[in-house]
Structure 1
Amino acid sequence: MSERDQPLRTPDPRQPRTGSTQAAPAAPSAPARTVSLEARRASRDSRPPETSEEMERGPSDLAPGSPSGIRVNLPVLLISSAIILAFSIWAIAMPDSAASTMKGIVAWLAANVGWFYVLTVSIVIVFVLWVALSKSGQVRLGPDHSRPQYSLFTWVAMLFAAGVGIDMLFFSVNGPVTAYYMPVMEDPQSREAAREAVVWTMFHYGLSGWAMYALLGMAMGYFAYRWGMPLSIRAVLYPLLGKRVRGATGHAIDIVTLVGTVFGVATSMGIGVVLLSIGLHHLVGVPAGLGTQIALVAVAVVMTIAACTSGVDKGIRLISEANIWIAAAMVLYILVTGKTGFLLSAIVEDIGRFVTTLPGRTTQTMAYEPGGSEWMGGWTLFFWAFWLAWGPFVGLFLARISRGRTIREFVIAAITAPVLCDLVIVAVFGNSALAEVLAGNDAFGQLAMASPEEGWYALLEMFPGAAFLIGLATLSGMLFYLTSANSGAMVMSNFSSRISDPGADGPKWLRIYWAVLTAVLTIAMLMAGGVTTMEYATLIFALPVTIIAYLVMLSFSKVLRMERAEREGWARMREVSGRGAAGRTWRQRLTSMRTHPSAEAVARFSAETIAPALEEFAAELREHGQAAEVRRESDAVTGIDSLELAVPMGANRDFRYRVSAVSAPIPAIGSKASRGRDDYLRLEVFSQTGSAGYDLYGMTQQQVLGDVLDSYEAHLAFLNYSLEHDSISAVSLAEPVEVEAPVDAEQR
Structure 2
Amino acid sequence: MPKAKVTKVFYIALALVAVTVLIGAVLPEQFETVTGNINQFITEKFGWYYVMISTFMVLFCVFLILSPIGKLTLGKPGDKPEFSTVSWFAMLFSAGMGIGLVFWGASEPLSHYLAPPTAKPETDEAFREALRSTFFHWGFHAWAIYGIVALGLAYFQFRKGEPGLISRTLRPILGNRVDGMIGTIIDVLAVFATVVGVAVSLGMGAQQINGGLHYLFGIPNTFWVKVIIVIIVTILFLMSAWSGLSKGIQYLSNLNLIFAGLLLFAVLFVGPTILIMNMFSTSVGNLLENFVYMSFDVAPLNEVKKDWMSSWTIYYWGWWMSWSPFVGIFIARVSKGRTVREFLLGVLLVPALLSFFWFSVFGTTAIETVKKVPGIGEMVVETQLFAIFNEMPMGIGLSLLALLLICTFFVTSADSATFVLGMQSTHGSLNPSNKIKVIWGLAQSLIALVLIYAGGLNALQSAAIIVAFPFSFVLLGMMFAFYKDANKERLHLGLTLTPHKRFRRKEE
Q: CA contact under 8 A between 2:157 and 2:164: conserved in structure 1?
A: yes
Q: Which residue of 2 aligns with 1:265?
A: 198
**Partner residue of 1:483?**
412
Matched, 1:315 2:248: yes
Q: CA deviation at 1:310?
A: 5.5
Q: Counterparts of 1:426 and 1:555 in 2: how far apart (Å)?
A: 35
Q: Are 2:237 and 2:412, in contact at CA under 8 Å, matched by a contact in 1? A: no
- Which residue of 1 is the match for residue 349 of structure 2? 416
Compare relative contact order (CA 8 Å, sep 6+) and give the higher one, 1 or 2: 2
Q: Cα gap change, 1:104/1:362 in structure 2, threshold over 3 Å: closer, same or farther?
A: same
- Which amino acid is 2:468 matched to? A
Query: Do the aligned partners of residues 539 and 569 (structure 1) sit closer, same or farther apart at CA in structure 2, a change above 3 Å counting?
Result: closer
Quick one: structure 1 residues 101 and 228, their matched pair in 2 at CA, closer, same or farther if it must change by over 3 Å?
same
Corresponding residue number in structure 2 for 1:288: 221
Q: Structure 1 pair 311/536, CA: closer, same or farther in 2 (3 Å)?
A: closer
Write the distance in 2 (CA, Å) between the matches of 1:292 and 1:559.
Answer: 52
Q: CA deviation at 1:441?
A: 2.4
Q: 2:489 aligns with which of 547, 563, 571?
A: 563
User: What is the Cα-based RMSD across aligned positions, in Å?
Assistant: 2.4
Q: Which residue of 2 aligns with 1:366?
A: 299
Match of 1:130 among 49, 54, 63: 63
Q: Is the 8 A contact 1:382 1:535 kept in 2?
A: no
**1:466 corresponds to which of 376, 395, 405:** 395
The answer to whether the Cα contact below 8 Å between 1:301 and 1:512 also exists between their aligned partners in 2 is: no
Q: Distance in 2 between matches of 1:84 and 1:279?
A: 30
SS at match of 2:106: helix
User: How far off is 1:566 after superposition?
Assistant: 0.7
> 2: CA distance between counterparts of 1:245 and 1:200?
39
State the shift of 1:540 in Å.
1.5
Q: CA deviation at 1:542?
A: 1.7
Which residue of 1 is the match for residue 86 of structure 2?
Answer: 153
Report the Cα distance in structure 1 between the residues aligned to 2:204 and 2:16, rounded to whole angstroms.
22
The one-letter amino acid paired with 2:485 is V
Supply the AA of the counterpart residue of 1:213.
Answer: Y
Q: TM-score, normalised by structure 2?
A: 0.93
Name the counterpart of 2:377: 445
Specify the alignment match of 2:452 in structure 1: 526
Q: Distance in 2 between matches of 1:321 and 1:311?
A: 15
Residue 136 of structure 2: which of 184, 203, 220 is its match? 203
Q: 1:481 to 1:569 in 2, by over 3 A?
A: closer
| Aligned counterpart in structure 2 of residue 399 of structure 1, from 332, 335, 358 | 332
Cα distance between partner residues in 1 of 2:235 and 2:345: 37
Q: Which residue of 1 aligns with 2:163?
A: 230
Q: Which has the higher helix share?
A: 2
CA 1:250–1:488: 2 relative to 1, 3 Å: same
Of 455, 462, 465, the residue aligned with 1:536 is: 462
* Residue 455 in structure 1 maps to residue 384 in structure 2: yes
Provide the rounded CA distance (Å) in 1 between the counterparts of 2:293 and 2:356: 18
Partners of 1:206 and 1:419 within 8 A in 2:
yes
Classify 1:332/1:570 alpha carbon distance in 2 versus 1 (closer, same or farther; 3 Å): closer
Shift of 1:334: 1.1
TM superposition shift of 1:305: 3.5
1:512-523 to structure 2, matched below 5 A, reads 512-523=438-449
Structure 1 pair 306/157, CA: closer, same or farther in 2 (3 Å)? closer
Assess, with a 3 A threshold, how the Cα gap between structure 1 residues 119 and 488 changes in structure 2: closer, same or farther: same
The one-character-per-residue Cα deviations of 1:415-449 (angstroms, maximum 9, x if unpaired) are: 11111111111111111111123x342211222xx
Instruction: Give the superposition deviation at 1:311.
Output: 5.5
Retained in 2: the 8 A contact 1:203–1:354?
yes
For 1:569 and 1:415, locate their aligned partners in 2 and report how far apart those are by CA, in whole Å.
Answer: 23
Three-state SS of the structure 2 residue aligned to 1:542 is helix
d(CA) in 2 for partners of 1:401 and 1:104?
38
Number of aligned residue pairs: give it. Answer: 504
Distance, in Å, in 1 between the alignment partners of 2:167 and 2:12 is 17
User: C-alpha distance in 2, partners of 1:198/1:182?
Assistant: 13
Query: Given the alignment, which residue of 107, 110, 120 partners 1:187?
Result: 120
Any conservation in 2 of the 1:497–1:506 contact (CA below 8 Å)?
yes
Matched, 1:279 2:212: yes
Residues 566-587 of structure 1: per-residue CA shift (max 9 Å, x gap): 123999xxx9xx99xxxxxxxx
- Tell me the TM-score normalised to structure 1 length: 0.64
Q: Which residue of 1 aligns with 2:111?
A: 178
Provide the secondary structure at the position in 2 that maps to 1:498: coil
Given the alignment, which residue of 62, 78, 99 partners 2:32? 99
| Aligned residues of 1:236 and 1:556 also touching (Cα < 8 A) | yes
Q: Which residue of 2 aligns with 1:552?
A: 478
How far apart, CA to CA, are the structure 2 residues paired with 1:112 and 1:310?
46
Q: How does 1:334-733 map to 2 (within 5 A)?
A: 334-437=267-370, 439-447=371-379, 451-499=380-428, 504-529=430-455, 531-568=457-494
Distance in structure 2 (CA, Å) of the matches to 1:549 and 1:311: 29
3-state SS of the aligned residue for 2:427? strand
CA distance in 2, matches of 1:375, 1:84: 31
1:289 CA drift (Å): 2.0
Give secondary structure in 1 for the equivalent of 2:200: helix
Q: Larger strand proportion, structure 1 or 2?
A: 1
Structure 2: how far apart are the matches of 1:94 and 1:86? 12
Alignment counterpart, residue 298 of structure 1, candidates 231, 243, 247: 231
Single out whichever of 389-398 and 554-563 deviates more from structure 2: 389-398
Structure 1 range deviating more: 322-331 or 535-544 = 535-544
Q: Work out the CA distance in 2 between the residues paired with 1:144 and 1:310.
A: 30
Is the alpha carbon distance of 1:692 and 1:165 closer, same or farther for their aligned partners in structure 2, counting shifts above 3 Å? closer
Contact 1:107 1:374 in 2 (8 A): no
SS in 2 for 1:332: helix
Q: Is the 8 A contact 1:111 1:373 kept in 2?
A: no
Separation in 2, partners of 1:154, 1:546:
30
| Shift of residue 496, structure 1, vs aligned partner | 1.6
CA contact (8 A) 2:68 2:495 kept: no
For 1:379 and 1:84, locate their aligned partners in 2 and report how far apart those are by CA, in whole Å. 26
- CA distance in 2 between counterparts of 1:198 and 1:411 reads 25
Identity rate, percent: 29
**Which stretch of structure 1 is more off in the superposition, 479-488 or 301-310?**
301-310
Match of 2:52 in 1: 119
